[in-house]
Protein backbone atom coordinates (compact mmCIF):
# COMPACT_ATOMS: atom_id res chain seq x y z
CA UNK A 1 0.00 0.00 0.00
CA UNK A 2 2.93 2.35 0.13
CA UNK A 3 5.16 4.05 -2.36
CA UNK A 4 7.50 6.96 -1.95
CA UNK A 5 5.48 9.29 -4.15
CA UNK A 6 1.93 10.57 -3.87
CA UNK A 7 0.77 6.99 -4.46
CA UNK A 8 -0.50 4.25 -2.20
CA UNK A 9 0.34 1.62 0.42
CA UNK A 10 -1.02 -1.90 -0.09
CA UNK A 11 -3.11 -3.46 2.60
CA UNK A 12 -4.88 -6.81 2.42
CA UNK A 13 -7.41 -7.41 5.16
CA UNK A 14 -9.46 -10.19 6.69
CA UNK A 15 -12.89 -9.85 8.24
CA UNK A 16 -13.88 -12.20 11.05
CA UNK A 17 -17.64 -12.39 11.44
CA UNK A 18 -20.32 -14.17 13.40
CA UNK A 19 -24.08 -13.88 12.90
CA UNK A 20 -26.73 -12.39 15.14
CA UNK A 21 -30.41 -11.60 14.46
CA UNK A 22 -31.17 -8.10 15.68
CA UNK A 23 -33.58 -5.22 15.32
CA UNK A 24 -32.07 -2.09 13.81
CA UNK A 25 -31.81 1.00 16.02
CA UNK A 26 -31.80 4.48 14.49
CA UNK A 27 -31.21 3.28 10.89
CA UNK A 28 -31.11 6.89 9.69
CA UNK A 29 -27.73 7.49 11.30
CA UNK A 30 -24.40 5.67 11.13
CA UNK A 31 -22.72 6.31 14.45
CA UNK A 32 -19.08 7.32 14.52
CA UNK A 33 -16.62 4.58 15.42
CA UNK A 34 -13.88 2.44 13.97
CA UNK A 35 -13.47 -0.07 11.15
CA UNK A 36 -10.85 -2.72 11.93
CA UNK A 37 -9.07 -5.02 9.49
CA UNK A 38 -6.47 -7.80 9.36
CA UNK A 39 -3.99 -8.00 6.52
CA UNK A 40 -3.80 -11.08 4.29
CA UNK A 41 -0.13 -12.18 4.22
CA UNK A 42 1.51 -11.71 0.84
CA UNK A 43 -1.57 -10.27 -0.86
CA UNK A 44 -0.36 -6.75 -0.13
CA UNK A 45 2.66 -5.35 -1.89
CA UNK A 46 4.43 -2.21 -2.94
CA UNK A 47 6.83 -1.70 -5.82
CA UNK A 48 9.69 0.79 -6.04
CA UNK A 49 10.15 0.30 -9.78
CA UNK A 50 8.88 3.79 -10.62
CA UNK A 51 10.15 5.51 -7.48
CA UNK A 52 13.44 3.86 -6.42
CA UNK A 53 14.89 4.21 -2.94
CA UNK A 54 18.02 6.25 -3.74
CA UNK A 55 21.56 4.90 -3.99
CA UNK A 56 23.48 5.04 -0.72
CA UNK A 57 20.33 4.76 1.42
CA UNK A 58 21.15 1.41 3.06
CA UNK A 59 24.95 1.89 3.04
CA UNK A 60 27.56 3.57 0.84
CA UNK A 61 27.54 0.60 -1.57
CA UNK A 62 23.76 0.30 -2.04
CA UNK A 63 22.32 0.84 -5.50
CA UNK A 64 18.86 2.34 -6.10
CA UNK A 65 16.28 -0.14 -4.76
CA UNK A 66 13.62 -0.90 -7.37
CA UNK A 67 12.16 -4.12 -5.96
CA UNK A 68 8.75 -5.07 -4.63
CA UNK A 69 8.01 -5.80 -0.96
CA UNK A 70 5.29 -8.27 0.04
CA UNK A 71 3.60 -7.31 3.32
CA UNK A 72 1.79 -9.04 6.15
CA UNK A 73 -0.07 -7.75 9.17
CA UNK A 74 1.30 -7.74 12.72
CA UNK A 75 -1.51 -7.68 15.34
CA UNK A 76 -1.78 -4.37 17.13
CA UNK A 77 -0.70 -4.05 20.74
CA UNK A 78 -3.85 -3.38 22.80
CA UNK A 79 -5.02 -2.90 26.35
CA UNK A 80 -6.55 -5.24 27.43
CA UNK A 81 -4.01 -7.53 25.74
CA UNK A 82 -5.19 -9.18 22.51
CA UNK A 83 -8.48 -7.30 22.74
CA UNK A 84 -8.74 -7.02 18.96
CA UNK A 85 -7.36 -10.41 17.98
CA UNK A 86 -5.47 -10.34 14.65
CA UNK A 87 -6.46 -6.75 13.73
CA UNK A 88 -3.53 -4.70 12.39
CA UNK A 89 -5.27 -1.73 10.77
CA UNK A 90 -7.85 0.67 12.21
CA UNK A 91 -9.73 3.45 10.41
CA UNK A 92 -11.75 5.93 12.49
CA UNK A 93 -15.03 7.45 11.32
CA UNK A 94 -14.95 10.79 13.09
CA UNK A 95 -18.57 11.97 12.76
CA UNK A 96 -22.06 10.55 13.03
CA UNK A 97 -23.29 10.24 9.42
CA UNK A 98 -26.94 11.08 8.75
CA UNK A 99 -28.59 9.85 5.55
CA UNK A 100 -30.27 12.42 3.33
CA UNK A 101 -33.37 11.87 1.18
CA UNK A 102 -31.22 10.18 -1.48
CA UNK A 103 -29.82 7.68 1.06
CA UNK A 104 -26.33 9.21 1.13
CA UNK A 105 -24.35 10.10 4.25
CA UNK A 106 -20.80 11.36 4.73
CA UNK A 107 -18.25 11.36 7.51
CA UNK A 108 -14.63 12.36 7.93
CA UNK A 109 -12.24 9.41 8.26
CA UNK A 110 -8.68 9.07 9.43
CA UNK A 111 -6.31 6.11 9.66
CA UNK A 112 -5.76 5.50 13.37
CA UNK A 113 -3.38 2.54 13.48
CA UNK A 114 -1.29 0.51 11.05
CA UNK A 115 1.03 -2.41 11.76
CA UNK A 116 2.60 -4.13 8.74
CA UNK A 117 5.84 -6.02 8.15
CA UNK A 118 7.62 -7.64 5.23
CA UNK A 119 6.72 -11.28 4.58
CA UNK A 120 10.46 -11.99 4.31
CA UNK A 121 13.62 -9.84 4.49
CA UNK A 122 14.51 -7.78 1.43
CA UNK A 123 17.98 -8.24 -0.06
CA UNK A 124 20.29 -5.31 -0.82
CA UNK A 125 23.99 -4.82 -1.61
CA UNK A 126 24.38 -4.02 2.10
CA UNK A 127 22.68 -7.19 3.36
CA UNK A 128 19.18 -8.27 4.35
CA UNK A 129 16.58 -6.04 6.04
CA UNK A 130 13.24 -6.65 7.71
CA UNK A 131 10.68 -3.96 6.88
CA UNK A 132 8.12 -2.45 9.26
CA UNK A 133 5.37 0.03 8.35
CA UNK A 134 3.46 2.17 10.87
CA UNK A 135 1.83 5.56 11.14
CA UNK A 136 3.80 8.66 12.09
CA UNK A 137 2.79 12.18 13.02
CA UNK A 138 -0.57 13.81 12.40
CA UNK A 139 -2.78 11.89 9.99
CA UNK A 140 -4.79 13.60 7.21
CA UNK A 141 -8.56 13.29 7.00
CA UNK A 142 -10.60 12.37 3.93
CA UNK A 143 -14.32 12.00 3.31
CA UNK A 144 -16.15 8.67 3.35
CA UNK A 145 -19.40 8.53 1.37
CA UNK A 146 -21.89 5.93 2.62
CA UNK A 147 -24.81 4.93 0.39
CA UNK A 148 -27.79 3.00 1.75
CA UNK A 149 -29.14 0.97 -1.15
CA UNK A 150 -31.56 -1.12 0.91
CA UNK A 151 -32.94 -1.46 4.41
CA UNK A 152 -29.99 -3.36 5.85
CA UNK A 153 -27.04 -1.56 4.28
CA UNK A 154 -25.38 -0.69 1.01
CA UNK A 155 -22.03 0.43 -0.36
CA UNK A 156 -19.42 3.06 0.44
CA UNK A 157 -16.43 4.90 -1.01
CA UNK A 158 -13.57 5.59 1.37
CA UNK A 159 -10.32 7.00 -0.06
CA UNK A 160 -7.56 7.35 2.54
CA UNK A 161 -4.57 9.61 3.02
CA UNK A 162 -1.88 8.75 5.56
CA UNK A 163 1.62 9.53 6.76
CA UNK A 164 3.77 6.45 7.34
CA UNK A 165 7.19 5.56 8.61
CA UNK A 166 8.91 2.63 6.87
CA UNK A 167 11.73 1.16 8.96
CA UNK A 168 14.44 -1.14 7.55
CA UNK A 169 16.12 -3.24 10.27
CA UNK A 170 19.32 -5.22 9.48
CA UNK A 171 19.03 -9.01 9.89
CA UNK A 172 21.01 -12.19 9.12
CA UNK A 173 24.43 -10.85 10.07
CA UNK A 174 23.94 -7.44 8.48
CA UNK A 175 25.90 -4.98 10.67
CA UNK A 176 24.70 -1.81 9.00
CA UNK A 177 22.49 0.66 10.87
CA UNK A 178 18.71 0.74 10.92
CA UNK A 179 17.30 3.26 8.44
CA UNK A 180 13.83 4.67 7.76
CA UNK A 181 11.77 6.76 5.38
CA UNK A 182 8.68 8.90 6.02
CA UNK A 183 6.13 9.75 3.37
CA UNK A 184 2.56 10.79 2.60
CA UNK A 185 0.42 8.18 0.81
CA UNK A 186 -2.98 8.17 -0.88
CA UNK A 187 -5.31 5.18 -1.34
CA UNK A 188 -8.33 4.92 -3.56
CA UNK A 189 -11.53 3.01 -2.75
CA UNK A 190 -11.81 -0.68 -3.60
CA UNK A 191 -14.33 -2.63 -5.61
CA UNK A 192 -17.23 -4.26 -3.72
CA UNK A 193 -16.95 -1.92 -0.72
CA UNK A 194 -20.10 -3.00 1.08
CA UNK A 195 -21.58 -2.54 4.53
CA UNK A 196 -24.40 -3.67 6.76
CA UNK A 197 -25.76 -2.67 10.15
CA UNK A 198 -24.35 -4.10 13.39
CA UNK A 199 -26.59 -3.81 16.42
CA UNK A 200 -24.24 -4.70 19.27
CA UNK A 201 -20.84 -3.28 20.28
CA UNK A 202 -17.81 -5.17 19.06
CA UNK A 203 -16.12 -4.53 22.39
CA UNK A 204 -17.50 -3.56 25.80
CA UNK A 205 -15.55 -1.13 27.94
CA UNK A 206 -12.45 1.02 27.32
CA UNK A 207 -10.04 -0.21 24.66
CA UNK A 208 -6.58 1.17 23.89
CA UNK A 209 -4.49 0.57 20.76
CA UNK A 210 -0.94 1.28 19.61
CA UNK A 211 -1.33 4.18 17.17
CA UNK A 212 2.34 4.92 16.37
CA UNK A 213 4.04 1.54 16.05
CA UNK A 214 6.07 1.60 19.28
CA UNK A 215 4.31 -1.46 20.70
CA UNK A 216 2.61 0.49 23.51
CA UNK A 217 -1.17 1.09 23.54
CA UNK A 218 -1.55 4.87 23.63
CA UNK A 219 -4.94 5.73 22.07
CA UNK A 220 -8.44 4.95 23.30
CA UNK A 221 -10.98 3.99 20.61
CA UNK A 222 -14.69 3.19 20.53
CA UNK A 223 -16.03 -0.14 19.30
CA UNK A 224 -19.76 0.57 19.65
CA UNK A 225 -20.79 1.75 16.18
CA UNK A 226 -23.80 0.31 14.36
CA UNK A 227 -21.84 0.14 11.07
CA UNK A 228 -20.04 -2.97 9.81
CA UNK A 229 -17.82 -2.55 6.75
CA UNK A 230 -17.13 -5.45 4.41
CA UNK A 231 -20.38 -7.42 4.55
CA UNK A 232 -23.03 -7.28 1.85
CA UNK A 233 -26.42 -6.20 3.21
CA UNK A 234 -28.73 -9.18 3.73
CA UNK A 235 -31.99 -9.41 5.71
CA UNK A 236 -30.28 -10.09 9.04
CA UNK A 237 -27.95 -7.50 10.55
CA UNK A 238 -24.49 -8.77 11.43
CA UNK A 239 -22.50 -8.78 14.62
CA UNK A 240 -18.74 -8.75 14.22
CA UNK A 241 -16.32 -10.30 16.67
CA UNK A 242 -12.84 -9.03 17.46
CA UNK A 243 -11.66 -12.53 18.33
CA UNK A 244 -10.97 -14.85 15.42
CA UNK A 245 -12.05 -18.47 15.73
CA UNK A 246 -9.03 -19.28 13.60
CA UNK A 247 -5.60 -17.70 13.34
CA UNK A 248 -4.88 -14.73 11.10
CA UNK A 249 -3.39 -17.09 8.49
CA UNK A 250 -6.68 -18.93 7.90
CA UNK A 251 -9.84 -17.91 6.10
CA UNK A 252 -12.31 -15.58 7.83
CA UNK A 253 -15.88 -16.52 8.64
CA UNK A 254 -18.61 -15.12 6.39
CA UNK A 255 -22.30 -15.03 7.30
CA UNK A 256 -24.54 -17.70 5.72
CA UNK A 257 -25.47 -16.81 2.17
CA UNK A 258 -22.25 -14.90 1.50
CA UNK A 259 -18.83 -15.93 0.22
CA UNK A 260 -15.32 -14.55 0.38
CA UNK A 261 -14.39 -12.13 -2.35
CA UNK A 262 -11.05 -10.42 -2.68
CA UNK A 263 -11.74 -6.72 -3.14
CA UNK A 264 -8.69 -4.74 -4.28
CA UNK A 265 -7.65 -1.12 -4.08
CA UNK A 266 -4.92 0.30 -6.30
CA UNK A 267 -2.82 3.42 -6.31
CA UNK A 268 -4.12 6.36 -8.32
CA UNK A 269 -3.01 7.38 -11.76
CA UNK A 270 -3.31 11.07 -11.01
CA UNK A 271 -4.06 11.99 -14.62
CA UNK A 272 -7.23 9.89 -14.83
CA UNK A 273 -8.37 9.02 -11.31
CA UNK A 274 -11.27 10.34 -9.27
CA UNK A 275 -10.87 9.33 -5.59
CA UNK A 276 -14.62 8.78 -5.21
CA UNK A 277 -15.02 6.54 -8.24
CA UNK A 278 -14.13 2.88 -8.76
CA UNK A 279 -10.61 1.77 -9.55
CA UNK A 280 -10.76 2.62 -13.27
CA UNK A 281 -7.74 4.81 -14.02
CA UNK A 282 -5.63 3.29 -11.26
CA UNK A 283 -2.23 1.64 -11.56
CA UNK A 284 -1.37 -1.58 -9.72
CA UNK A 285 2.20 -0.89 -8.58
CA UNK A 286 0.84 -0.77 -5.06
CA UNK A 287 -2.04 -3.14 -4.42
CA UNK A 288 -4.50 -3.13 -1.51
CA UNK A 289 -6.61 -6.29 -1.35
CA UNK A 290 -9.24 -6.96 1.30
CA UNK A 291 -11.60 -9.81 2.04
CA UNK A 292 -15.28 -8.93 1.91
CA UNK A 293 -18.34 -11.13 2.32
CA UNK A 294 -20.51 -10.89 -0.80
CA UNK A 295 -23.79 -12.50 -1.81
CA UNK A 296 -22.83 -14.66 -4.83
CA UNK A 297 -26.18 -13.90 -6.47
CA UNK A 298 -25.44 -10.19 -6.58
CA UNK A 299 -21.67 -10.25 -7.13
CA UNK A 300 -20.18 -8.44 -10.13
CA UNK A 301 -19.88 -10.43 -13.34
CA UNK A 302 -16.65 -12.42 -13.45
CA UNK A 303 -16.10 -12.23 -9.68
CA UNK A 304 -13.80 -14.91 -8.28
CA UNK A 305 -15.36 -16.26 -5.07
CA UNK A 306 -14.70 -18.86 -2.41
CA UNK A 307 -17.32 -20.46 -0.19
CA UNK A 308 -15.19 -22.31 2.35
CA UNK A 309 -15.72 -23.91 5.73
CA UNK A 310 -14.16 -21.79 8.48
CA UNK A 311 -12.01 -24.74 9.58
CA UNK A 312 -10.49 -25.14 6.13
CA UNK A 313 -6.99 -23.65 5.88
CA UNK A 314 -6.40 -20.90 3.36
CA UNK A 315 -5.02 -21.90 -0.02
CA UNK A 316 -1.23 -21.27 0.15
CA UNK A 317 -1.43 -19.39 -3.14
CA UNK A 318 -3.53 -16.74 -1.37
CA UNK A 319 -1.01 -16.15 1.41
Of the pLDDT bands very low, low, confident and very high (cuts 50, 70, 90), residue 204 is low
Of the pLDDT bands very low, low, confident and very high (cuts 50, 70, 90), residue 245 is very low
Query: What is the torsional sign of CA 312, 193, 50, 123?
Result: negative
Q: Give the CA distances from residue 265 to residues 54, 157, 235, 296, in Å, rounded to whole numbers and listed in that order.
A: 27, 11, 28, 20
The per-residue pLDDT for 309 is 44
Is the link from the previous residue into 90 a cis peptide, with omega within 30 of 0? no
The yes-or-no verdict on residue 219 having pLDDT over 90 is yes
Q: Give the CA distances from residue 163 to residues 4, 21, 24, 46, 63, in Å, rounded to whole numbers and listed in that order.
A: 11, 39, 36, 15, 26
Which residues make Cβ contacts (< 8 Å) with residue 126, sequence separation at least 6? 58, 59, 61, 62, 174, 176
The per-residue pLDDT for 32 is 93
The per-residue pLDDT for 310 is 37
Q: Smallest Cα–Cα separation from 143: which of 190, 108, 95?
A: 108
Cβ atoms of residues 46 and 306 within 8 Å: no
Long-range contacts, 81-84 (Cβ 8 Å, 24+) = 83/203, 83/207, 83/242, 84/36, 84/203, 84/207, 84/209, 84/242
Kindly state the average pLDDT of the residues 235-264.
Answer: 58
Whole-number average pLDDT of the chain: 78
Amino acid sequence: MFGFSSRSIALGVVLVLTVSSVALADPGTVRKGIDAWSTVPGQSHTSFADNPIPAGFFCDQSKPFTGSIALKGVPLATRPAKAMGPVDTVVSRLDDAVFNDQGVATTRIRLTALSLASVKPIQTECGAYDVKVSLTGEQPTTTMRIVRTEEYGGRYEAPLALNVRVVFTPVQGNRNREVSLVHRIDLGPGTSSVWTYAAKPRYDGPMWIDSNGDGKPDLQVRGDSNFLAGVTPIPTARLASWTAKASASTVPTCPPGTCLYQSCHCNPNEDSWDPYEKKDGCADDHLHCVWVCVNPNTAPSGTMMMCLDVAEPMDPSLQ
